[in-house]
């Protein structure tokens, strides 16, 4: 069952375990950990998984049931690590993606104090331990990229490489430059009434016009990304 217990939190007079739901795709010595952003789930990585492994068939089986409810005695017991799997050999790629705490099939802790990029970086590190991965190429998107940066700072020896997408370094750089283009995007976003309209504005928020208008085979990147977003 693809769940990994990574942490515990106190709920009243009980201690509950935090379980991450994860999926693995492909097999091989090269390991890739995908860390999704705010409100995203493991399903968001479909195009990247297909590109890296050539398949969307999970290596750990199909749909799985939710984990059974645990007794108070089980919840109070110390967490035990799963025996690491043997490292795969060969030239293939094994990809793991997961639901961060608070979304998807993973546990939803009740208080905001249980959520921070540092805590979620420790979650990702615990998942690597659970999988028996000594090192991995880590790819983070948006908030997942911030989590990945924390992971790199905590355990640089566990990363083969670090790739970041749609992320900021923090500070004043977080705030966009207010100009005519930004005001136009904000106005169009507020006027958008359908998911299709919002998706078009979202693309122009994250990518330049030159990039979106670039031809790829028989269509533009804008058309490809719009299809992926929808």
Write the CATH number for 103: 3.40.50.1820
pLDDT score for 82: 45
214 and 145 housed in the same domain: no
Statement: residue 210 has pLDDT above 70: yes
122 and 206 housed in the same domain: no
Q: What is the pLDDT of residues 121-162, one digit of tens each?
A: 999 999 999 999 999 999 999 899 999 999 999 999 999 999
pTM over 0.75: no
Ramachandran region of residue 142, left (φ > 0), alpha (ψ -120 to 50) or beta? left
pLDDT score for 81: 43
φ and ψ at residue 215, rounded to 5 degrees: -80, 130
Statement: residue 63 has pLDDT above 80: no
**Domain range for residue 128?**
3-65+88-169
Q: What beta strand segments (E) does 166-211 contain?
A: none
Query: Cα angle vertex 189, ends 187, 190, to 5°?
Result: 65
Within a domain: 33: yes
Residue 108: C-alpha distances to residues 33, 159, 190, 203 (Å) = 21, 27, 30, 30
Mean pLDDT of the 204-213 span = 85
Within a domain: 78: no
Statement: residue 106 has pLDDT above 90: yes
Q: What is the pLDDT of residues 156-199, one digit of tens each?
A: 999 999 999 988 777 776 677 788 888 888 888 888 888 888 88
Residue 19: both structure tokens together? 């379980």
Mean pLDDT of the 3-17 span = 85
138 and 208 housed in the same domain: no
What is the chain's Cα-based Rg? 20
Statement: residue 78 has pLDDT above 60: no
Statement: residue 62 has pLDDT above 90: no
Residue of 41, 126, 51, 130 lying closest to 95 (CA atoms): 51
Within a domain: 92: yes
Out of 24-33, 66-75, 95-104, pick the least confident. Answer: 66-75
pLDDT score for 89: 59
Tell me how many domains the chain contains: 2
Residue of 211, 5, 2, 230 lying closest to 126 (CA atoms): 5
CA dihedral sign, ordered 83, 84, 89, 90: positive
């Amino acid at each position: 069952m693809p769940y990994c217990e990574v942490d515990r939190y106190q709920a009243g007079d009980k201690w509950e375990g935090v379980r991450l739901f994860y999926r693995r795709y492909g097999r091989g010595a090269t390991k890739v950990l995908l860390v999704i952003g705010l409100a995203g789930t493991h399903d968001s990585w479909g195009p990247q998984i297909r590109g890296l492994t050539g398949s969307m068939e999970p290596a750990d089986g199909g749909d799985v049931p939710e984990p059974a409810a645990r007794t108070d005695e089980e919840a109070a017991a110390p967490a035990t690590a799963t025996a690491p799997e043997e490292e795969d050999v060969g030239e293939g790629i094994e990809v793991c993606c997961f639901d961060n705490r608070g979304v998807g099939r993973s546990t939803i802790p009740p208080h905001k104090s249980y959520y921070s990029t540092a805590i979620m970086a420790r979650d990702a590190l615990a998942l690597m331990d659970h999988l028996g991965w000594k090192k991995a190429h880590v790819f983070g998107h948006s908030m997942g990229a911030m989590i990945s940066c924390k992971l790199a700072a905590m355990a640089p020896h566990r990363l083969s490489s670090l790739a970041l997408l749609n992320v900021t370094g923090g500070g004043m750089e977080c705030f966009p430059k207010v100009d005519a283009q930004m005001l136009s995007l904000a106005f169009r976003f507020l006027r958008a009434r359908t998911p299709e309209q919002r998706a078009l504005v979202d693309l122009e928020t994250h990518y330049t016009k030159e990039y979106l208008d670039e031809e790829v085979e028989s269509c533009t990147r804008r058309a490809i990304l719009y299809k992926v977003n929808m």
